[in-house]
Each structure stands twice: as C-alpha cells, then as structure tokens.
Amino acid sequence: MAAVLELVAGSYEQITFGYQMKTDEKEWTAKAEFTHHAHIASVSAVAACERFVVTGSRDETIQVYDMKKRIEHGALLHHDGTITCLEFYGTSHLLSGGEDGLLCVWSTKKWECMKSIKAHKGHVTSLSVHPSGKLALSVGTDKTLRTWNLINGRSAFIKNIKQNAHIVRWSPDGDRFVVVMNDKVIIYKLETASVTGTITNPKRISSVKFLNNSILAVAGDDEIVRLCDVGKAKWVCEFKAHETRVKAVDSVSMDDYFVVVTASNDGFIKMWKIHLEELESPTLLGEVNTTARLTCLAVRRPSSVQQQIAEEEAPQATTSEEPVPELPRRKRVQIATEEVVLEEESRPKKKKKKNSGK
C-alpha cells in the first residue's frame, strides 16, 4: 500500500488548507481534503501529529482539528497575543508559545493546560522539544535562549545571546540544536553547550528543518532552499524551489529518500525528492496551487487505519476553482484557567525594607 501523506498549510487569508498526497505514482497528485476558515486573522503557526492538527493565529486562539473523526474539535483560549509557535511531543502533548511570553504545555487527552510558564519577558518566538520529551528550548525577544525542564516545568538554564533569535530546533537525536538569528544559523552541541559552527544565509531565514542528524534544510527570503551539513558547518546543496520567497519547509522520510515540502508566498506547495547520499539537484515530485499567500506548513503521516479510511473516503482530485469541503464544527470551546507559573529565576529577589517606625 502506498504511503499516505497529508499536507496542512495556513495563510494570510485566514484559511487553513488540507491536502492528501497520492504517492504511488511517478508524479504525485494532491487531493484537496478540506479548507477551514476558523480564524479571524492570519494563520501564524501549524503543527500536526498522528491524530490532531492544530493552527495558531494572530487572533490569539489555537484551533484543534481531530483528523480521525474529521471534525473541528474546538479552540484553546489561553494566550493573550499572537500564537507564534506550536509543536507536538508524540501524540500526548502540545507545546505553544505566544507574544504574551507564555509557554504552555497541553495534554491532548482532554485538551487541558497542564503548565503555563512565563517563559520570556518579551515574545516567545520559537520553541523545540527534545526527543526525550524531558527538555524544551525556547527563544524570545528578550535576547535569551532558555532550557526548560518539562518534568517540573521550571527553567533549567538561561543563556544570554547577542540578538533576538526567531527559530530554535533540536536535531532528531537530540545531540545538537540550532538557533537562528536573522540570516545566521548557529550550531550548538548539547554535551558542551558550546557553539560548534555558524552558517550565514544570503537572506533572512524564515524556516529550517532537520532531515537527519547532520543535514538541515534552510529556507529564507528568496526562492532558494539550501541544505547545510551541521557537522561541518557548510552548505552542501541548493535548489530553486519557488518563484518568490519560501515561507516554510518541512520533510518526511520515505523508504530510501527524503521528501522536502516547501510552501511559498506564490501560493504553491511543492514536494521534492532528495537522496542524501548523492545530494544532487532534487526531483520535483508534485505541486499544488492554493492561490493563497501561505505562511506556515506541516506534513502529517496518518496511522495505517486512518490511511485505509482516508483512501476509502478521499475525494477526487480538485482544482482551485472547485469547492472544497469544510470540516464539520463541533460546538466546544476549551478555556484554560491554569494558573501561570512565573519563571524569573535569573533576576535576584529584592529585599524588603524594614519599617523603622519613624
């Protein structure tokens, strides 16, 4: 049975698009699964796991979609400001960050907010969960890189950095992580917490994705996607992916190659076949035109049971002119009332002045 991949993309036009890819042909074809207009502002972040898809927006809400039941599950209303980043850990937890400086940990079982941490004095710009699930990294507009102990929800380490970073990512094995500041990728080794290399992109970087433990895909404010060897801290491959700037990049591992998925302001989502052993120019597997200005992207691989159901229920391939079904809405809104845990361990406590009685 051919692998089923689902692509989910958000847009400036407030729409979330879902596509199912038919991968058993030489040229992959996209079937429009759904479009959804749940947000009242542009979609700023998207994440996907085996069962759920979540989208964050400038309207301060996180929308949850149950892809097993094919319904809108509800909205998470805890952040006060734009949702800047979303990331699942497995299928059990979701982490979210926002312009309010909060880092929230959600349980996907009942969609309760388990922890709400005041992570940064400014915005949380990016977060990344360690493969072990015990640690998370976050960066913000307070020029700090913070390591969080997710077991107790407390700050484990704070590093002051020279600039505001807007992306942080762990490698798949958790031995390295990268921090992105404007046009620079700074590579760290976990064991020594030291910088092992720096790579400079010609343009400001918009998105990065580890393909494996050593190769990092980098997209920026131009039409080129570049591959970086983080061990050697050098570029190893580049290709023109779109006609305008690439806004987001994701990937998925297939049998003997990787599929890099790119989304752009030009409205296209494209899938590229890459063999990391050869690192020659990638092959375009397929593309779909959403006709929207795309902002974010996630690739989802359903379980084998969901794949079978999806294949039976999948609509025929659609063009942009044909109507695409919206997900049914479930009248349920989850409002998190968890108390915020303040994390200001880096600031010494002020001693209270004693009243002299005069």
Q: What is the pLDDT of residues 254-308, one digit of tens each?
A: 888 899 999 999 999 999 999 988 777 899 999 999 999 999 999 998 865 455 5
- The fraction of the chain above a pLDDT of 70, given in percent, is 83
Mean pLDDT of the chain: 86
Token couple for 195: 């910088």
Domain 1-37+208-305 grouped into CATH 2.130.10.10: no
Q: How confident is the model at residue 329 (pLDDT cuts 50, 70, 90)?
A: low
Rounded Cα–Cα distance for residues 250 and 230 (Å): 17
| For the ranges 29-33, 92-96, 342-346, the one whose mean pLDDT is highest | 92-96
How many residues are there in the chain? 358
The per-residue pLDDT for 303 is: 65
Tell me the C-alpha distance between 270 and 291, whole Å: 13
All residues at 6 or more sequence positions from 277 whose CB lies less than 8 Å from its CB, including other chains: none
* 8 A C-beta contact, residue 197 and residue 208: no
The torsion defined by the Cα of 123, 45, 168 and 200, in degrees rounded to 10, comes to -100
Q: Give residue 105's pLDDT.
A: 94
Q: In what order do the strands lie in the sheet with 224-229?
A: 205-210, 215-220, 224-229, 234-240
Say how far apart CA 43 and CA 175 lie, in whole Å: 32
Pairing of strands 176-181, 167-170: antiparallel
Region 314-343 average pLDDT: 47
Query: What b/e string do you get for 18-47 counting C-beta neighbours within 10 Å, with b at 16 or more?
Result: bbbbbbeeeebbbbbbbbbebbeebbbbbb
Q: What is the pLDDT of residue 337?
A: 41
Taking a C-beta distance cutoff of 8 angstroms, is the pair 227, 213 a contact?
no
Top pLDDT among 94 and 313 is at 94
d(CA 352, CA 354): 6
User: Above 80 in pLDDT, residue 358?
Assistant: no
3-state secondary structure of 304: helix
Name the pLDDT band for 355 (thresholds 50, 70, 90): low
Dihedral sign of CA atoms 238, 244, 250, 252 in order? negative
The residue among 246, 207, 213, 216 whose CA lies nearest residue 234 is 216
Q: How far apart are alpha carbons 215 and 229 in whole angstroms?
A: 5
Give the helix/strand (H/E) hosting 125: strand 124-129
Q: Summarize the confidence of residues 25-46 as an average pLDDT.
A: 90
Among the ranges given (61-70, 122-131, 203-212, 310-319), the one the predictor scored with the smallest mean pLDDT: 310-319
The lowest-confidence range among 28-37, 296-305, 320-329, 332-341 is: 332-341
Note the pLDDT tens digit of each residue in 336-346: 444 444 343 33
The distance from CA 151 to its chain's CA centroid, rounded to whole angstroms, is 22
Q: What type of residue is 191?
A: E
The pLDDT score that the predictor gives to residue 332 is 46
- Say which residue, 333 or 301, is predicted with more confidence: 301
How does pLDDT run across 121-141, given as a tens digit for each residue?
Answer: 999 999 999 999 999 999 999
